[in-house]
Amino acid sequence: MPELTFAERAERDDLGAFVARAVRLEGGTVVRLRNRAGDDEDAPGRLDAWVATPFDVLATRMVLGRVEPGDVTVSGNELLAALSVSRGERVDPGRVLDLQWRSALPPKAHWQVVESLPAKIVTDLADRGLELARENMGPHGTPPASLLDQTVLTVTGDGLEVKIPLRCLFAMSGMGFLGTGDTAGEQVRITATDAWLRIDARYGAVVRRRHALLPLLV
């Protein structure tokens, strides 16, 4: 049976907020919980929670805590219920659903800092993108893939040029990572590897492959 342990109550509440947003975006979502490698097993350690959003973008948040086993996938709804009901330091996150996780995770090393931008710039771009999406909704109430794939921001730094598609900003907005109200002084950091891009904001990060995978030859 898996078990979550938190360093303090605020960390459990942070994870609960992250999972609640993911469940609102996708009711049947699963959450992958992974301990950071290299942390002292006797210390609270750091725990990364991952979800796959409906925008084909991964979202993640780090909290202080541990999960046993050290890499496990559980139901978002069951984890949210457990975090809401249990008020202790230890939480049963629910059934193990490892086979339901189908997304590759990015590497842990070789990330380069490309640019840091004021959060307001990214928030404004996301707001304009949402307005455009409302005007171009498809038959199923979702914006077309061609719109989501449009590049809304290009940043350069440390020898890299990174194009950010609208779908990344939609994922950040949907997960509540950009916050609300006054964002004066807050920064959004963009990092990348040869194959991945990552955008870190105040409440979490989104991650996506920079290039589509080539189909396998048959």
pLDDT tens across 1-54, in order? Answer: 899 999 999 999 999 999 999 999 999 999 999 999 866 555 669 999 999 999
Dihedral class, residue 53 (left if φ above 0, else alpha if ψ from -120 to 50, else beta)? beta
- Give me the mean pLDDT over the 201-205 stretch: 94
Q: Which band of pLDDT confidence, cut at 50, 70 and 90, is reported for residue 136? A: confident
What tokens does 29 get? 């979502």
- Give the separation between CA 52 and CA 144, rounded to whole angstroms: 19
Number of Cβ within a 10 Å radius of residue 38: 8
**Residues sharing a CB contact under 8 Å with residue 9, sequence separation 6 or more, in sequence order:** 87
Number of Cβ within a 10 Å radius of residue 127: 13
Type and span of the H or E element at 167 = helix 166-174
- Give the separation between CA 93 and CA 110, rounded to whole angstroms: 32
**DSSP label of 51:** E
Q: Which CATH number does 3-100 carry? A: 3.10.150.10
Identical fold, 3-100 and 112-209: yes
Residue labelled with tokens 């004066």:
184
pLDDT tens across 42-69, in order? Answer: 566 999 999 999 999 999 999 999 999 9
- Give me the mean pLDDT over the 89-117 stretch: 95
The domain locations on the chain are 3-100, 112-209
- Give the separation between CA 209 and CA 201, rounded to whole angstroms: 18
- What's the chain's Rg over C-alpha atoms? 18
What tokens does 150 get? 């449009």
Report which of 74, 117, 103 is spatially closest to residue 207, judged by C-alpha positions.
103
Q: Which CATH number does 112-209 carry? A: 3.10.150
Instruction: Give the residue ranges of DSSP H helices in 6-148.
Output: 9-25, 76-85, 119-135, 145-148
The rounded Cα 79 to chain-centroid distance in angstroms is: 16
* The pLDDT of residue 216 is above 60: no
* Dihedral sign for Cα atoms in the order 11, 12, 13, 15: positive
Q: Which band of pLDDT confidence, cut at 50, 70 and 90, is reported for residue 142? A: confident
pTM of the predicted model as reported, rounded to 2 decimal places: 0.92
- Give the separation between CA 101 and CA 73, rounded to whole angstroms: 7
